[in-house]
């Protein structure tokens, strides 16, 4: 089979997904204290929250899109581990050295930041690692069954892992990040395996569907703002379900964010972008950017409340405009940090290259026998 040329439009989408996540963290940690009830300013700020789950869903789907027809590379996973550890320790020592956010050296915190994946300092990286180890089995199962069976499988998983948690959400019972990531991976894989047919879907229909899903999400947010500010049976029902004003933006496995992510993937699949060094650089730096702005303590205690300090703004338009600007600046700074740490990352990879090769050989043999 001839090797398909990589479409950099999908890579660029990975960059956009990280940008979405930055906007989410901006809205999540800025600390506005809104009163109950509807307001345009609150709606503007809360709308930015949809970028979090949307960005995560897209990022993991892209992994499935690219890896379903290949072998998961151990080197790629080890690279993520090295980048995570380097950035975790760099941020920690900078905070300790300059006493940012009042942080002082602690052996406990040092161990946590030196082993960030083991201790889930970055929940996404830990969940992604667990997903990555399951890829050989996921690929074997998904490629062996018929396309109709794949669709039925994804439908059942959607009901169990997205709709059910919307009604009753409890981690470890109705929701698990690794299992959700496996589902997202298979969604991306399904899109890749059916790319020829899916690319025939009208772009106009997809844009209209994306607009409709966005409108429904915002309308749901506005409705919940109003409903939770009133008394009576309606508020009791919403409270019983454990919903808040932003449940369709911030609930892990949100069905609306999932559907929006799929539509965005379908739109980008119809675009073509030849490999460009600048896009490749932004894509490689994407993970480092994510790590920087979501570093524990640094992000919640210093970056967002002190450096960004968006809490001082009360205009919806300013909040959105400032957020878009800040997210771009953070992406640039994160990319610079990635470049600074890149030589160290490469040196570590060179030192452990032989063990990686041996693990890859074993990893490639993991399969389900006939």
Return the minimum-mean-pLDDT range out of 67-76, 131-140, 249-258.
67-76
* Region of residue 275 (phi > 0: left; psi between -120 and 50: alpha; otherwise: beta): beta
- pLDDT bucket at 274, cuts 50 / 70 / 90: confident
Phi, psi of 202 (to 5 degrees): -60, 130
Average pLDDT, the chain: 92
User: What does each C-alpha distance from 142 to 72, 128, 196, 226, 248 come to in angstroms?
Assistant: 15, 19, 18, 44, 29
Question: DSSP string spanning 204-270?
Answer: HHHHHHHHHHHHHHHHHHHHHHHHTTS-SHHHHHHHHHT--TTHHHHSTT-HHHHHHHHHHHHHHHT
pLDDT, one tens digit per residue, over 341-355 is: 999 999 999 999 998
- pLDDT bucket at 7, cuts 50 / 70 / 90: confident
Residues contacting 309, CB < 8 A, separation 6+? none
pLDDT of residue 30: 92
- The reply to whether 3 falls in a domain is no
- The reply to whether 185 falls in a domain is yes
Determine the Cα–Cα distance for residues 328 and 333; give it in Å rounded to an integer.
Answer: 9
- H, E, C per residue of 110-135: HHHHHCCCCCCCCHHHHHHHHHHHHH
Determine the Cα–Cα distance for residues 321 and 162; give it in Å rounded to an integer.
Answer: 32
- The reply to whether 2 falls in a domain is no
Q: For the packed helices 255-269 and 8-29, what is the interaxial angle rounded to 10 degrees?
A: 150
User: What does each C-alpha distance from 286 to 41, 59, 290, 336, 339 come to in angstroms?
Assistant: 30, 10, 6, 11, 11
Return the minimum-mean-pLDDT range out of 108-112, 318-322, 345-349, 356-360.
356-360
Cβ burial of 75 (10 Å; 0-12, 13-18, 19+) is: middle
Q: Look at residue 5 and tell me whether its pLDDT is greater than 70.
A: no
Signed CA dihedral, 287, 355, 115, 188: sign only:
positive
pLDDT of residue 360: 86
Residues 185 and 259: beta-carbon distance below 8 Å: no
DSSP-assigned letter for residue 344: H
pLDDT of residue 143: 95
- The reply to whether 182 falls in a domain is yes
- pLDDT bucket at 367, cuts 50 / 70 / 90: low
Residue 291 tokens read as 């790590």
Over residues 223-238, mean pLDDT: 92
What distance lies between CA 261 and its chain's CA centroid? 11
- State the Cα angle at 24 between 251 and 129, rounded to 5°: 70
- Closest to 54 (Cα-Cα) out of 302, 196, 246: 246
Q: Look at residue 370 and tell me whether its pLDDT is greater than 60.
A: no
- The reply to whether 370 falls in a domain is no
- pLDDT bucket at 277, cuts 50 / 70 / 90: confident
Residues contacting 8, CB < 8 A, separation 6+? 273, 274, 275, 276, 279, 280
List the domain range (segments joined by +) for residue 131: 8-364
Q: Look at residue 1 and tell me whether its pLDDT is greater than 70.
A: no
pTM over 0.95: no
- The reply to whether 105 falls in a domain is yes
- The reply to whether 1 falls in a domain is no
- The reply to whether 30 falls in a domain is yes
Q: Look at residue 67 and tell me whether its pLDDT is greater than 90.
A: yes
The helix (run of H) or strand (run of E) holding residue 139 is helix 123-144
Q: Look at residue 290 and tell me whether its pLDDT is greater than 60.
A: yes
Looking at the structure of the chain, the number of domains it has is 1
Over residues 213-227, mean pLDDT: 96
Residues 262 and 155: beta-carbon distance below 8 Å: no
- Closest to 361 (Cα-Cα) out of 159, 6, 73: 73
Residue with tokens 């963290």: 25
Over residues 272-284, mean pLDDT: 83
Greatest Cα-to-Cα distance within the chain, rounded to the nearest angstrom: 66
Q: Look at residue 3 and tell me whether its pLDDT is greater than 80.
A: no
Percent of the chain with pLDDT over 90: 78
Residues 246 and 221: beta-carbon distance below 8 Å: yes
Considering only CA atoms, give the Rg of the chain. 21
Percent of the chain with pLDDT over 70: 97
pLDDT, one tens digit per residue, over 36-66 is: 999 999 999 999 999 999 999 999 999 999 9
- Closest to 278 (Cα-Cα) out of 344, 322, 331: 331
Residues 161 and 253: beta-carbon distance below 8 Å: yes
Determine the Cα–Cα distance for residues 327 and 25; give it in Å rounded to an integer.
Answer: 9
pLDDT of residue 287: 87
Identify the residue with better confidence: 70 or 190.
190
């Amino acid at each position: 089979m001839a090797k398909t040329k990589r479409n950099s439009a999908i890579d660029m989408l990975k960059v956009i997904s990280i940008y979405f996540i930055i906007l989410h963290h901006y809205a999540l940690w800025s600390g506005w204290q809104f009163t109950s009830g509807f307001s345009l300013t609150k709606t503007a700020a809360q709308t930015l929250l949809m970028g979090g789950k949307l960005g995560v869903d897209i990022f993991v789907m892209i992994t499935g899109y690219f890896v379903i027809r290949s072998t998961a590379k151990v080197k790629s996973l080890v690279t993520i581990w090295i980048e995570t550890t380097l950035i975790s320790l760099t941020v920690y020592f900078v905070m300790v050295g300059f006493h940012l956010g009042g942080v002082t050296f602690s052996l406990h915190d040092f161990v946590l930041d030196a082993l960030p994946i083991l201790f889930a300092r970055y929940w996404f990286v830990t969940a992604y690692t667990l997903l990555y180890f399951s890829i050989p089995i996921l690929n074997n199962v998904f490629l062996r069954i018929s396309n109709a069976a794949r669709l039925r499988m994804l439908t059942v998983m959607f009901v169990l892992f997205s709709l059910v948690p919307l009604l009753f959400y409890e981690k470890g019972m109705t929701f698990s990040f690794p299992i959700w990531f496996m589902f997202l991976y298979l969604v991306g894989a399904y899109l890749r395996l059916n790319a020829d047919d899916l690319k025939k879907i009208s772009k106009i229909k997809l844009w209209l569907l994306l607009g409709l899903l966005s409108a429904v999400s915002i309308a749901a947010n506005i409705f919940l703002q109003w409903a939770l500010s009133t008394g009576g049976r309606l508020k009791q029902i919403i409270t019983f379900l454990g919903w808040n004003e932003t449940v369709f933006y911030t609930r892990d496995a949100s069905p609306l964010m999932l559907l929006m992510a799929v539509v965005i993937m379908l739109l980008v699949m119809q675009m073509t972008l030849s490999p460009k060094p600048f896009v490749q650089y932004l894509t490689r730096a994407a993970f480092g950017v994510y790590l920087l702005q979501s570093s524990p303590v640094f992000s919640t205690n210093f970056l967002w409340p002190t450096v960004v300090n968006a809490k001082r703004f009360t205009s919806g338009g300013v909040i959105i405009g400032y957020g878009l600007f800040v997210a771009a600046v953070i992406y640039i700074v994160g990319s610079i940090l990635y470049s600074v740490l890149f030589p160290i990352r490469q040196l570590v990879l060179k030192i452990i290259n032989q063990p990686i090769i041996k693990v890859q050989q074993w990893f490639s043999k993991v399969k389900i026998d006939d």
